[in-house]
Structure 1
């Protein structure tokens, strides 16, 4: 059965830049996105906006054995193995990116009170970047500061690709944020940004995917407990 994984790792500059320019391949690796880390809500012109040595990697694998072999045997994989990653079961998607169009719209239903992981993948329309930043940065802060997220970040690969990743304590909390059901002035930032995207799309391609976490491995910034496992 295929699985997905999301990785965070610090890499030497040469290895990180090389993977950004030419992502590695490996047996059983169906899709790979290598991106430079970003800090959600950071100023547009800031060293935090693109952190080349702090890589984020999103991947799809034919099976867990393929992932294990990559982490053990491939030079880049061993670098990822020194960081943190979560293994994921795909649940559903909204929108479509060509490289992931084979994923079904829905593979399994979420349990409302169980933790979920959300990944968005977008290929930008470059002329729309100023609009995207105007509407997107408030949403970045909304997700980053939400009391029901345990980890939220963004990553990019110039010139067009942006990924966001967030771990939520429950599917109910995530959908509450998406549809503006939370309290406070910031509650409707996401829904307003989505309405603006519907009015005139920021992206050439865009998908939001929901996953069930399977297992968590390694550490990131001294932590190894981002997934709020339930009994």
Structure 2
């Protein structure tokens, strides 16, 4: 099982069109689950951002080959100008419909970068209370030195999510449950008291391949390059030239990293 994230910054009309064009397991071979999301920036002030600045597709696949085939599908074309990454799921807390096979016991990631996907089905009557509780956590994430990139995600009417990338799992935990400076931990406590959501899941992901640009850069490139310098690992077969271009300085959309 692998997880893919496909992110592209597009206009609100294109994002809304993409929201409705969700690939389904019944039509895509090897696809186990997927969801499309409107993207809006993590907040820097007191109020949540209402600006839609892109569309995201998060998907779970049988294997790399299934994802390779999907990249030729018409539904994948929207995301071609953006950024995508492949991940190994390494830890799950909570549960989500359609994702019963995610790993429960933690797989250590050491000093490798990690991705974090949180999803929740909001109790609509608790929307205002949740927005107030989450403000400090969003602002503090943006200031954390190990935060690489992230976005708030939503699928109306009541699905909400965050997707973020971190330098290491240890530093990510310092933000979520540690003492830096406590906004996320306080938000979790308020959720325990008021129960903002019907169901939630937290998924930690180990990236092993990236391609393209998110906000003009690959946020994982430096961290994965540092890992590759420390440990030489065999590359997965990339002989399918029609899928990927060779890595060159002139090709900023080349893949970075290896398994």
- Per-residue deviation, 1:66: 1.3
Query: Are 1:191 and 2:165 matched, yes or no?
Result: no
Q: Higher relative contact order at CA 8 Å, sep ≥6: structure 1 or structure 2?
A: 1
1:85 aligns with: 84
Whether the 8 Å contact between 1:70 and 1:78 is mirrored in structure 2 is no
Aligned residue for 1:98, secondary structure, equals: coil
1:154 aligns with: 152
Whether the 8 Å contact between 2:113 and 2:167 is mirrored in structure 1 is yes
RMSD of the alignment, in Å?
2.0
Which residues of structure 2 form unaligned runs of 5+? 231-259
2:50 aligns with: 49
Given candidates 18, 23, 40, the residue that maps to 2:42 is 40
Closer/same/farther in 2, CA of residues 10 and 117 from structure 1, 3 Å limit: same
1:132 aligns with: 130
Whether the 8 Å contact between 1:180 and 1:189 is mirrored in structure 2 is no
1:68 aligns with: 68
Runs of 4+ in 1 over 6 A off after TM superposition: 43-46
CA distance in 1: counterparts of 2:137 and 2:113, whole angstroms = 21
1:210 aligns with: 204
Closer/same/farther in 2, CA of residues 84 and 126 from structure 1, 3 Å limit: same
TM-score (norm 1): 0.88
CA distance in 2: counterparts of 1:225 and 1:43, whole angstroms = 23
Aligned residues: 222
2:254 aligns with: none
Question: Larger % of strand: which?
Answer: 1
- Per-residue deviation, 1:101: 2.8
- Per-residue deviation, 1:110: 2.0
> C-alpha offsets along residues 102-160 of structure 1, whole Å, 9 cap, x if unaligned?
32312x52233221111101110100111100101211111122111111211111111
